[in-house]
Structure 1
Amino acid sequence: MREFIRGAAMLGRGFGYWSRRPGLMALGLVPAAIVAALFLAALIALGAFLPGITEALTPFAGTWPAVWATVIRIAVGTALIGAALVLVAVTFTAATLVVGEPFYDRIWRAVEGELGDADIEADYGFWQSVGDATRLVVRGIAAALLAALAGLIPVVGGVIATFLGVLMTGWLLAVELTSRALTARGIRPDTRKELLRRRRGLALGFGVATQLCFLVPGGAVATMAAAVAGSTMLARTLLEPTAGAESEGSDPTAAVA
């Protein structure tokens, strides 16, 4: 739990950059606002057509008593909304990072410079961003399907789907947002995942806090720049040797490109 709280606090430290670099952080609002407007329109459309979609997915319930048909359709609708929120959070992050690559690169460099790595060479450009975004969306679809299936569980499905959705999305956000800082240090994707797994509580704390902020109306736009700043600090912390690694003499960054 201590690691989880520490990870969440890193997002708070990311927000702290608004007071130190307000102009730079404000640049991060632009791509986030553009992408958020598109996703908001998609969610509104889903809400408008949801009754028809649930009926189309449950034709078998047409002959059931009205109360049971309503129950199953509410369950299906809840599952679809939960899946949509998971997918939106993941794809929003992926799309925003691609659209705002030049802006978020400047934020990343500013944080690295303040923390002592101003001269780090970043082998992370537009196409690298697109590749990471594509992988994130694929994983997001899988997480959305799992959340949707969990939402079909009678009575408790909505709660379970929400919990799984936030947890899985938080993990995926931590993976994606730390990719820039870790890739810039020559760390391969498989090693990046291993670093995150070793500090799972830390990564989940940061990712879940970010996801919860995304769920607040307007929160995704306001949080994106802070998430980039906070994830840079998270990546640096992941590279610190843990007590277990020190005792075993292992080096989590040994496998680099």
Structure 2
Amino acid sequence: MRDLVSGFGYLMKGQRWAARHGRWWGFGMIPALITLVGYAAALVALFFWTDDVIAWATPFADDWSSPWLGVFRGALSILFAATCLFLAIITFTAVTLLVGQPFYESLSEAVDRSEGGAVPESGLSTWAELWIGLREAIALLIRVTLWSVLFFALGFIPGVGQTVIPVLAFCVTAFFLTEELTSIALLRRGVLLKERRRMLRSRRLLSLGFGVPLSVLFLIPLVAVFLMPGAVAGATLLVRDLTGEDEEPAPSQGETAAGQAGAFHSS
């Protein structure tokens, strides 16, 4: 439970950091706003054509009597809309980070710098980082699509499909969201996708504490645009926890002995 609270705490700290650094916050909204316009148009079109898509996909139900035809296709329409939202939340962050990669990279570095100590650098060129980001975004899209198909199918299970499955889908969404947002700070530390997943899975509650409330907020129109800079900042702070950078270094044996000697003489 402590990790769950800590994850939420990093989200709040990130938003406070962005609020204190208005220039970063302002510029950080631009890539998110550009992406949001495209996604909003796509979602409106999808929802407008939902009934036609469902009717096309279920020709076998054309001859069903009322009310079963309406109930069946209505349930499928809800599942289809939920799947579209699931895909939108996950891929929105990936596309926004890709569009604004150079800026969010600088923002993450600024957060590390404000916390003190050296700023980790990957040693890769901007183009190399963009290529890795694109490659990982495609890999993420494939994984998200597979999960979406699975949850869509499980949604047909009576009772469970309308209660347990949506909750599981939301938790998976939250984990993916955390994975995406931490990618910038972890890539600068030389941590690629496979190792990143391992690190986040080892602290699942920390990941969910950060990702679940953010996923809820991202469902509200325009909120994702305003929260994205703070989300990147909070993810950087979370990464510092994952890698142990915020831990106090243990005193060396010599320092301990010197401290004990000083205490002895002062007494």
For the aligned pair, the TM-score class normalised by the smaller chain equals 0.7 to 0.9
Superposition deviation, residue 211 in structure 1: 1.1
Task: Give the partner amino acid of 1:148.
Answer: F
State whether structure 2 residue 111 is matched by structure 1 residue 142: no
**Separation in structure 2 between the aligned mates of residue 22 and residue 47 of structure 1, nearest angstrom:** 36
Alpha-carbon distance in 2 for matches of 1:23, 1:176: 23
Structure with bigger RCO (C-alpha 8 Å, 6+ apart) = 2
- Contact 1:76/1:151, CA 8 A, preserved across alignment: no
CA distance in 2, matches of 1:120, 1:155: 49
Quick one: which amino acid aligns to residue 211 of structure 2?
A: G
Matching residue of 2:236: 232
Comparing 193-202 with 110-119, which one deviates more in the overlay?
Answer: 110-119
Give 1:193 shift: 1.7
Mapped contact 2:24–2:229 kept (Cα < 8 A):
no
Quote how far apart the aligned CAs of 1:156 are.
4.9
Q: Does 1:174 align with 2:174?
A: no
Output the TM-score relative to the length of structure 2.
Answer: 0.84
Please show how residues 121-140 of structure 1 align to structure 2 within 5 Å. Answer: 121-123=121-123, 125-140=129-144
Q: Which amino acid aligns with 1:160?
A: V
Q: Equivalent of 1:185, from 185, 189, 203?
A: 189
The two structures, once aligned, show a CA RMSD in angstroms of 1.8
**1:35 alignment partner AA:** T
3-state SS, counterpart of residue 120 of structure 2 = coil
Amino acid at match of 1:212: V
User: 1:70 corresponds to which residue?
Assistant: 70
Q: Which amino acid aligns with 1:18?
A: A
Which residue of structure 2 aligns with residue 246 of structure 1?
A: none
Q: 1:142 Cα shift?
A: 1.6
Q: Deviations over 1:29-76 (max 9, x none)?
A: 101001011111111111111111111122222222211111111111
Aligned partner of 1:199 in structure 2 is 203
Partners of 1:117 and 1:137 in 2: CA distance: 35
Structure 1 window deviating more from structure 2 (225-234 vs 52-61): it is: 52-61
2:19·2:25 contact (CA, 8 Å) conserved in 1? no
Distance 1:158-1:45 versus aligned 2 partners, 3 A rule = farther
Distance in structure 1 (CA, Å) of the matches to 2:117 and 2:141: 30
Contact 1:93 1:173 in 2 (8 A): yes
Shift of 1:155: 4.7
Structure 1: any 5+ residue segments left out of the alignment? 242-257
CA–CA distance in structure 1, aligned partners of residues 117 and 65 of structure 2: 66
Q: CA deviation at 1:2?
A: 2.8
User: What SS does structure 2 have at the residue aligned with 1:224?
Assistant: helix
Whether the 8 Å contact between 1:143 and 1:169 is mirrored in structure 2 is no
**Deviation digits for residues 60-104 of structure 1, max 9, x if unmatched?**
222222111111111111111111111111111111011101221
Q: TM-score, normalized by length of structure 1?
A: 0.87
Distance 1:83 1:117 in 2: 43
